[in-house]
Each structure stands twice: as structure tokens, then as C-alpha cells.
């Protein structure tokens, strides 16, 4: 039997080779690659998951004209920001400029106002449609050995998000009761349902902080099937 014990601490034995990368290390390297990709590369990477036809120009209204910040460019610029928390809009503009140079398109200026306006026109219905499509695609890739005893495991968890202190937010998402009036911020509770095997976010619910997760589970019923395990 081959012995891999190192008799000299700190001495890298050539025959031992490098230890295998952990799943977390592999994930971190993939995420870093995504963050460093161009808009064209990002589009190619997600081509099989994102329905690109949904990013075509509208017949009329927002994103109907031929502009630099089309619906597709705005979406993938926004996706870059989601994958890289803290990325300023100016950095997205630089990526768009690189994309336009690559495709021989008119070059936008360095002002990020046009991008911010275009990003704001990405409506919720479009984003929900893309999310549903991606979730279904990811679910289809779950292999049998990733299931627990031939059962799908769904995970439900919640968190709180601090919102701007406006009258509307205070009314819909009241601040915690232990805080004095005028001394706290509205808090929105987000409860989500995930697939444990794929990690896909199946559905989420936005509600006030005091509601317990168990009372919200009924909203996830459509994603449960007989035999599923819910955590």
C-alpha cells in the first residue's frame, strides 16, 4: 500500500501531488471567472439557462428603440452587478464600452445615467419570467444520486431586510416593536424556498417581520410534491 505520509514537515513531496480542491474552492474559482468575464462571455455562459428571446426589443414602449443600452445589454450589465456585489455602475459602463468596441457598435460615453435609466426599465414581470425559466432548467439537471433516498428535499428559510424609512414602507413593513417610534427603520421579511440538491431558488415571499415562516409555507405548496421532504 502506498504511504502518503510526509516525514519532513513543510517539504512538498512531489509524489504526493496536490490535494484535491474542495467544492467551496471550485465554486469560488467559477464565481471569480464569472466576475471577470465580458458581457459577451457572460451571455454565452448563461445561453442555455436564460431565455434570450425574452430579452428581444419590445414592439413599443420601454426598450423598443435601437439603443446602446438595449434590454439585453441592460440585463447582462445588471447581472454582472448581481454577481459582483458592490460593483459601481461606472464599471458596468466600461464593460458596455468594451462590448461595443468588440461588436463595432456606437460607443457610449462614460456617464452612467443612461445605463441606470435603462436598468430601471427592466420590469418585474420580465425578471420573474427569467427566474422561473432558470429555476426549471436547473431542476431538470438534478441527478438521481443528488436526491435523498429518492426524495426531493426543499429548504425554507427567512431573513430580514432593512428598508428606507418612508411612510409607505413603515405602513407595509413596520419596524420591530422593541424600537421606539422614529428610532428605527422598516424591516421586510423575505422567506424563500430552495431545492437542496440544485440550490435553485424556487419561490420567495415578502412579508412583515412578525409573521412566522410556518404561516407562510402554504404559499409554497405549488412547489411541493408527494414524497418531498421539507426542512
Tens digits of per-residue pLDDT, 83-108?
Answer: 988 899 999 999 999 999 988 888 88
Contact 54, 143 (CB under 8 A): no
Strand partners, 148: 151
Model confidence at 17, pLDDT cuts 50, 70, 90, reads: low
C-alpha cell at 216: 407562510
Model confidence at 178, pLDDT cuts 50, 70, 90, reads: confident
Is the pLDDT higher at 195 or at 18?
195
Phi then psi for residue 146, to 5 deg, are: -90, -10
Lowest mean pLDDT across 1-15, 17-31, 73-87, 142-156: 1-15
Model confidence at 119, pLDDT cuts 50, 70, 90, reads: very high
C-alpha gyration radius of the chain = 23
Strand partners, 193: 156, 203
Model confidence at 116, pLDDT cuts 50, 70, 90, reads: very high
d(CA 177, CA 27): 40
The whole-number pLDDT of residue 114 equals 92
Contact 139, 159 (CB under 8 A): no
The domain limits of the chain are 23-125, 147-230
The whole-number pLDDT of residue 218 equals 83
Strands of the chain, DSSP E? 153-162, 187-195, 201-208, 229-230
Residue 57 has pLDDT above 80, yes or no: no
Lowest mean pLDDT across 40-49, 62-71, 94-103, 116-125: 62-71
User: Phi-psi category of 10—alpha, beta or left, where left has phi over 0 and alpha has psi -120 to 50?
Assistant: left
Buried b (16+ CB within 10 A) or exposed e, 43-68: beeeeeebeeeebeeeeeeebeeeeb
On the CB side of 74, CA atoms within 13 Å amount to 27
d(CA 118, CA 168): 25
Model confidence at 12, pLDDT cuts 50, 70, 90, reads: low
Helix axis angle, 113-120 to 89-103, nearest 10°: 90
The whole-number pLDDT of residue 14 equals 55
Which of these, 113, 105, 98, lies nearest to 39 by C-alpha position? 98
The whole-number pLDDT of residue 67 equals 78
Contact 137, 163 (CB under 8 A): no
Torsion of CA 80, 56, 206, 221, to 10 degrees: -120
Percent of the chain scored above 90 by pLDDT? Answer: 22
Amino acid at each position: 500500500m502506498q504511504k502518503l505520509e510526509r516525514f519532513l514537515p513543510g517539504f512538498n513531496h512531489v509524489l504526493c501531488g496536490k490535494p484535491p480542491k474542495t467544492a467551496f474552492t471550485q465554486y469560488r474559482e467559477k464565481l471569480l471567472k464569472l466576475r471577470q468575464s465580458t458581457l459577451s462571455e457572460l451571455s454565452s455562459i448563461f445561453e442555455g439557462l436564460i431565455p434570450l428571446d425574452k430579452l428581444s426589443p419590445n414592439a413599443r414602449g420601454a426598450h423598443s428603440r435601437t439603443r446602446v443600452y438595449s434590454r439585453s445589454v441592460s440585463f447582462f450589465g445588471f447581472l454582472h452587478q448581481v454577481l459582483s456585489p458592490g460593483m459601481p455602475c461606472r464599471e458596468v459602463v466600461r464593460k458596455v464600452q468594451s462590448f461595443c468596441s468588440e461588436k463595432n457598435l456606437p460607443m457610449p460615453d462614460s456617464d452612467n445615467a443612461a445605463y441606470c435609466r435603462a436598468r430601471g426599465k427592466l420590469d418585474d414581470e420580465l425578471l420573474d419570467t427569467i427566474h422561473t425559466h432558470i429555476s426549471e432548467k436547473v431542476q431538470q439537471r438534478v441527478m438521481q444520486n443528488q436526491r435523498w433516498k429518492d426524495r426531493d428535499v426543499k429548504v425554507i428559510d427567512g431573513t430580514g431586510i432593512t428598508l428606507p424609512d418612508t411612510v409607505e414602507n413603515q405602513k407595509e413593513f413596520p419596524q420591530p416593536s422593541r424600537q421606539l417610534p422614529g428610532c428605527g427603520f422598516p424591516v421586510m421579511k423575505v422567506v424563500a424556498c430552495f431545492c437542496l440538491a440544485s440550490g435553485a431558488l424556487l419561490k420567495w415571499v415578502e412579508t412583515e417581520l412578525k409573521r412566522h415562516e410556518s404561516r407562510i409555507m402554504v404559499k409554497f405548496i405549488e412547489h411541493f410534491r408527494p414524497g418531498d421532504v421539507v426542512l
